[in-house]
Amino acid sequence: MSFNSLEQLVGAFIEQNALHERPLLRVVKCWAEVVGAAVAAHTRPLAIQRNILWVATSSAAWAQNLTFERQRILTKLNPYLPPNNLLVDIRFSTAGWQRSPNTKQEQTPIKNDHPSYIVTAVTRKNHLHAVPENPRAAFQHWQETMRSRAQGLPLCPQCQCPTPPGELQRWTVCSFCAAKKW
């Protein structure tokens, strides 16, 4: 029995494992080119098992639409793979989709950016307010809160209701009047 050097053993191990990873790595490298940037932003190749490529999608709608395109994608993808590892099918699923911290995330709107958002100074008293004893007391508390919020707001030119400044900047009227126009 001959002994192999550590370098030879590590080299053989890396070579064996690289053979299993190589097709997926090739797919990942050419994925955006094959499917296009828009589709690549909503998909991520996960694994190849028994010559079937498993791809995570950001939504079920993407998975369904891409299922109809899988033969076209296979035709474009297989030339990038070695002849003994050609893909026979692609399966799209939302399973496994998680936005990685490295990807550029779409900016989600913050509530402060919404045109109807009003900055209010909420006093500690409002937070600690006791539960109203009856519906009339609850309504009166709500009415006082709404009046205090509406103080100092500009009026809608159409209906003369107090309107957040963001709504006037965006639609030149309040959101209710803007919705009536649509």
Residue 102 included in any domain: no
Mean per-residue pLDDT, 101-127: 56
Helical residues (DSSP H) of 36-171, grouped into ranges: 37-40, 60-68, 70-77, 124-127, 135-150, 165-171
pLDDT at 57: 95
Q: At 45, give phi and psi (nearest 5°).
A: -65, 130
Q: CA Rg, the chain, in Å? A: 30
Do 69 and 125 reside in the same domain of the chain? no
Nearest CA to 42 out of 98, 88, 109, 91 is that of 98
Do 88 and 126 reside in the same domain of the chain? no
Could you tell me what percent of the chain has a pLDDT over 90?
Answer: 37
Do 128 and 63 reside in the same domain of the chain? no
DSSP 133: S
Kindly report the pTM of this predicted structure. 0.46
Position 71 pLDDT exceeds 50: yes
In the block, residue with structure tokens 């009415």: 143
pLDDT at 22: 76
Do 81 and 157 reside in the same domain of the chain? no
Task: Provide the domain count of the chain.
Answer: 2
DSSP 107: P
Position 88 pLDDT exceeds 90: yes
Give CA separation, 132 vs 129, 135, 156, in Å.
8, 7, 32
pLDDT at 124: 42
Mean per-residue pLDDT, 88-111: 71
What's the pLDDT tens digit per position in 16-57? 665 555 788 889 999 999 999 999 999 999 999 999 999 999
Residue 107 included in any domain: no
pLDDT band at 68 (very low <50, low <70, confident <90, very high): very high
Residue 83 included in any domain: yes
Do 121 and 175 reside in the same domain of the chain? yes
Give CA separation, 78 vs 29, 84, 100, 118, 169, in Å.
13, 11, 27, 55, 53
What is the domain-level CATH number for residue 38? 3.30.300
Cα–Cα distance for residue pair 73/56, rounded to 1 Å: 15
Do 17 and 56 reside in the same domain of the chain? yes
- Domain carrying residue 28: 6-93
Nearest CA to 55 out of 21, 83, 27, 23 is that of 27
Residue 99 included in any domain: no
Mean per-residue pLDDT, 110-139: 66
Residue 29 included in any domain: yes
Do 12 and 88 reside in the same domain of the chain? yes
Do 19 and 87 reside in the same domain of the chain? yes
Position 167 pLDDT exceeds 60: yes
Burial 81-114 (b: 16+ CB within 10 A, else e): beeebebeebbbeeeebeeeeeeeeeeeeeeeee
Question: Average model confidence (pLDDT) for the chain?
Answer: 81
Higher pLDDT, 99 or 181: 181
In DSSP terms, 54 is beta-bridged to 47, 91
